[in-house]
Amino acid sequence: MTSSSVATMTSFALLCLSIAIIECMAGILGNGIILAASSLSCIGSKTWPPYDMIVISLSSSRFILQSWVTLDFLMNIFYEPFFYTENLLTATKIMFTFLNYSSLWFGAWLSVFYCIKVASFTQSFFIWLKLRIARLVPWMLLTSWLCSFTTAIPFAWDVYSVHKNITAPSSMTNSSAWTTTRNDRLTLLIYLWNASTALPLTLSVVSSVLLIRSLWIHTRRMQNNTSGFRDPSLEAHMKAIKSVCSFLFLYVIYFISVLIIVFNVFSPLSNGDSVCVVLMAACPTAHTLVLIWSNPKFQELPARIWHHTNCHVRTASM
């Protein structure tokens, strides 16, 4: 991500970066709560529940990603010359691409998990997945890490080489051939990166559509029965569908914003680029809040901390 120093930064861009930093810090806090609550529930157990494994992977990747992005924003604002050293720029691109892609994959697997556990399809393949999802989740997560690592290295290497060649002097005779080679290489990587990031998006869309269809079928069946609409499975459907659909909506916005920023559709720190930065920071934080809202276990930990804090304050004041 490129930017200018504070002296040349517009007030709107500075405001957007400040908002993005606040959003990232809220996301760090929320993901820390989810990570702590999920880890505490897994301590002492020999086998981790598949839901906790996915949520721990998602929250930890987002925790590191949002911490890194916060540092990135602060460096852009206060110490740009150090930020644009070649080694730091390379590490930043690798880390951002890897963590960003990992969080996208983990979020997609969470949508798939919701669909498999809650939806009530009778197809043999779906039943096979439902019975084996606990054993498949570790392999799904490991594959996501490997895919993210594979995707990050070549993309970041090309960004690094482009930055180095732009800053280095070149002769007029070789500039045309070098530009063609650079553009061909970068275009190929753009296509590969877009295709790879579209995979988790496709999984999320398919999971959401299947879950909506399952909910519709289940609702129609309940209308023909006398059991009413207080079926626990319907409530599970409704809660899962809200989480999955909200994540899908946020995912699409985040996906578009990241593509716009990474490929410099807008000039650095223009109004369009600044708005995309705010959206990119807001979407993961919003989904983290949705996860906390949809799971009572994640709500209990802040309540306990608040209760203990109040007890200690009252004890100290007496």
Domain boundaries, the chain: 11-163+180-307
Longest CA–CA span in the chain (Å) reads 82
Q: What is the pLDDT of residues 158-171, one digit of tens each?
A: 544 444 443 333 33
Q: Tell me, what amino acid is at 138?
A: P
Q: What pLDDT sits at residue 309?
A: 59
Structure tokens at 36: 């702590």
Please tell me the predicted confidence (pLDDT) of residue 182: 46
CB 93 within 8 A of CB 160: yes
Radius of gyration, CA atoms only, the chain = 23
The pLDDT value recorded for residue 225 is 67
Q: For residues 304 and 310, give the distance between their C-alpha atoms in angstroms, rounded to a whole number.
A: 10
Q: pLDDT tens for residues 11-33? A: 888 899 899 999 999 999 999 99
**Percent of the chain whose predicted confidence (pLDDT) is above 90:** 17
pLDDT of residue 286: 93
pLDDT of residue 279: 93
Q: Cα–chain-centroid distance for residue 169?
A: 38
The CATH number of the domain covering residues in 11-163+180-307: 1.20.1070.10
- Quick one: angle between helices 296-317 and 11-42, nearest 10? 90
Render pLDDT for 252-309 as a digit per residue (tens, 0 to 9).
898 888 778 777 788 877 888 889 999 999 999 999 998 888 887 787 766 666 655 5
Structure tokens at 51: 């839901």
How many angstroms from the chain centroid is the CA of residue 149? Answer: 15
Asked whether 251 and 239 are in contact (CB, 8 A), the reply is: no
Count CA atoms within 13 Å of residue 204 on its CB side.
23
Other C-beta atoms lying within 10 Å of the C-beta of residue 245: 16
Q: Record the tokens describing residue 141, joined without a space.
A: 């997560």
Give the pair of three-digit tokens for residue 96.
């951002």
- Which segments of the chain have a pLDDT < 70? 1-9, 79-89, 154-196, 219, 222-234, 236-237, 301-318
Helix H or strand E segment including 287: helix 271-294
Classify 43 as helix, strand or coil. Answer: coil
d(CA 22, CA 172): 46
Q: Which two tokens stand for residue 259?
A: 């593509």
Q: What residue type is 105 in one-letter code? A: W
Enter the DSSP assignment of 267: P
Give the predicted TM-score (pTM) of the model.
0.79
Instruction: Tokens 């369009």: give the residue.
Output: 272
Interhelix angle 124-167/50-78, nearest 10 degrees: 20
Residue 296 CA: distances (Å) to CA of 37, 105, 194, 234, 239: 10, 24, 36, 18, 12
Residues 89 and 83: beta-carbon distance below 8 Å:
yes
